[in-house]
Amino acid sequence: MSIAVEHEKRRKEILESALDVFVEEGYSDTTFQKIADRCGITRTILYLYFKNKREIFMFSIKRFTEKLEAEIREAALAPGPACDTLERLSELVLGRCAEQARLLSVIVGYLEHSRKSGSDVGDKVRRRTIRMRHIISGVVIAGQKRGEIRKVPVGAVSDFFYGLVEAAIFRVAVLGLADTADLSAAMRLFFEGLRTQP
């Protein structure tokens, strides 16, 4: 195995172990030393892979959002009516939220910590979701052009979509509820209301 592949494999292992520490300790109480201890390596070795705990945490978020964005982009390109595409996208996002409940719980804690420190949390979230919002808007616009979706404000559809995603994140990350079936039902009802009437 090449050195680059080994390095990347070790980084992934560190990220997985670090996530356990972040979940158990919370972002603010997690230290670089605790992460190194969990990985069974020294801090010096850990520095070969990451500069600090923030970089580890940000890389975890980046991996999650980039993978989700790629899946959303691919699902958005699938043929079919726009409302069906939106429904597939919502199921995909809700499913990923449930799968990544541990990471999302740490992200919520980190955002709360950042907010208390005076950071613009809204800006951080917007930067991470802007491309995904653009994909959703593109599906709505294409559906309107094909006459499949009523002429409603595209931004409102995107906001509603993300409002339900935020509700799912709250449920899985804060309340510890993995079942998002009622949110899926609400999304389907909303998308049905967007369809043009025959």
What are the domain boundaries of the chain?
1-50, 60-194
pLDDT computed for residue 1 by the predictor:
58
State what percent of residues in the chain have pLDDT above 70.
99
Task: Kindly state the greatest CA–CA separation across the chain.
Answer: 66
Q: Name the CA dihedral angle for 130, 98, 192, 77, rounded to a multiple of 10 degrees.
A: 50
pLDDT computed for residue 38 by the predictor:
95
**Backbone φ, ψ for residue 149 (5° rounding):** -120, 135
What average pLDDT does range 13-35 have in this prediction?
A: 89
Q: Half-sphere exposure of 99 toward its Cβ, with a 13 Å CA cutoff?
A: 8
Q: b vs e for 164-181, b when ≥16 Cβ sit within 10 Å of the residue's Cβ?
A: bbebbbebbbeeeeeebe
pLDDT computed for residue 194 by the predictor:
92
Structure tokens at 177: 């509820």
Q: What is the rounded distance in angstroms from the CA atom of residue 150 to the CA atom of residue 198?
A: 11
Return the CATH number of the domain spanning residue range 1-50: 1.10.10.60
Task: Tell me the per-residue pLDDT of 91-143, one tens digit each, with 9 for 90 and over.
Answer: 999 898 888 888 888 888 888 888 888 888 788 778 778 888 899 999 999 99
Structure tokens at 70: 């790629």
pLDDT computed for residue 118 by the predictor:
86
Looking at 3.40.50.720, 3.20.20.70, 2.60.40.1930, 1.10.357.10, the CATH number of the domain 60-194 comes to 1.10.357.10
